[in-house]
Amino acid sequence: MYPPKFDYYRAGSTDEAVSLVKEHGGKFLAGGHSLIPVMNLRLADPGSLVDIGRLDLKGISSDGSGVKIGALTTHAMVAASDAVPAALSEAAGMIGDPQVRNRGTVGGNIAHADPASDLPTVLLALKATINTNGRSINADDFFVDLFTTALDESEIITSVSVPHEGANTGSAYTKLFNPASRYAMVGAAAQVTIENGVCSAASVAVGGLTPKATRASSVEAALVGKPLNSDTLAAAAAAVANDLDPDDILGDIHASTEYRQQMAPVFVRRALEAAVSRA
């Protein structure tokens, strides 16, 4: 398959990239593993592509408050990093195959906002901030709907900031793989903090089965203030049903709506168990 015809521009800076999109329209091109396939399928015809692949937006750095991940950092780099929370490196290592992980970028992934992507779910659970050329957007506000984000048309993601995990805090990500694409048919990310055997803080999100990554506030409420034993984790995982609108749950030839709905508490519990063990 071949994409529709397009004009190609290579940007030498973030400002130039924004100017080119304002002048010619079209889309930013980073790793290409989200945009090019939908163009090949004729699901997108941007007319122009502005290549940002050579901008200085790659790398992972750490300071006192957290970790900053450049937008052009590849999934493979995140998967190999000891500086990021475990849930994030875990999710990055589950994306696609080695070719995809070595070309696909963090910024391109989240800008595309595929409901079956792994990173949106994890970034939501980790309370990340998405930084652009003009502002910073909390993950809760960034993912708006199916393939839709809070980005303006000429806005470009420059980095993602993730808070450090404090003492007695652990995180994890689990998913039900699509056996062909390795996309998430159900994904669950959890971060918990334990003090004296009791959960003092929890953040949980699910994806893959909803149009956008969704915070599981009922699961969080069922954890905080409770001892994190098997009964608590089971009850909390079951509470994810309260965070899912049955009319919004996705279904396809790979997994029906009903099956994904049944699998949601299973994978939420697995994420919780792994996060608790790391905390």
pLDDT digits (tens, 9 = 90+) for 9-48: 999 999 999 999 999 998 999 988 788 888 898 888 999 9
Of 1 and 205, the structure prediction assigns the larger pLDDT to 205
Which CATH number applies to 60-163: 3.30.465.10, 3.40.80.10, 3.40.50.11900, 3.40.30.10?
3.30.465.10
pLDDT number for residue 94: 97
d(CA 128, CA 152): 19
Euclidean distance between CA atoms 270 and 188, whole angstroms: 8
The arithmetic mean of pLDDT across residues 45-56, rounded, is 93
Please determine, for residue 73, whether its predicted confidence score (pLDDT) is greater than 90: yes
pLDDT score at 72: 97
Q: How far is residue 199's CA from residue 220's CA, in Å, rounded to a whole number?
A: 10
Confidence of residue 3 (pLDDT cuts 50, 70, 90): confident
Read off the tokens for 231.
Answer: 């009964």
Residue the block writes with tokens 């696909």: 104
H-type alpha helices, the chain:
14-24, 35-40, 75-79, 86-93, 98-103, 106-112, 119-125, 139-142, 217-223, 230-238, 257-278
The architecture of the domain spanning 169-278 is: 2-Layer Sandwich (3.30)
Query: pLDDT per residue over 114-164, tens digit each?
Result: 999 999 999 999 999 999 999 999 999 999 999 999 999 889 999 999 999
What is the pLDDT, as a whole number, of residue 144?
Answer: 96
At residue 43, the pLDDT reads: 84
Residue ranges of domains in the chain: 7-51, 60-163, 169-278
* Residue range 199-230, pLDDT digits in tens: 999 999 999 999 999 999 999 999 999 999 99
Task: Please identify, in words, the CATH class of the domain defined by 7-51.
Answer: alpha beta
pLDDT for position 111? 95
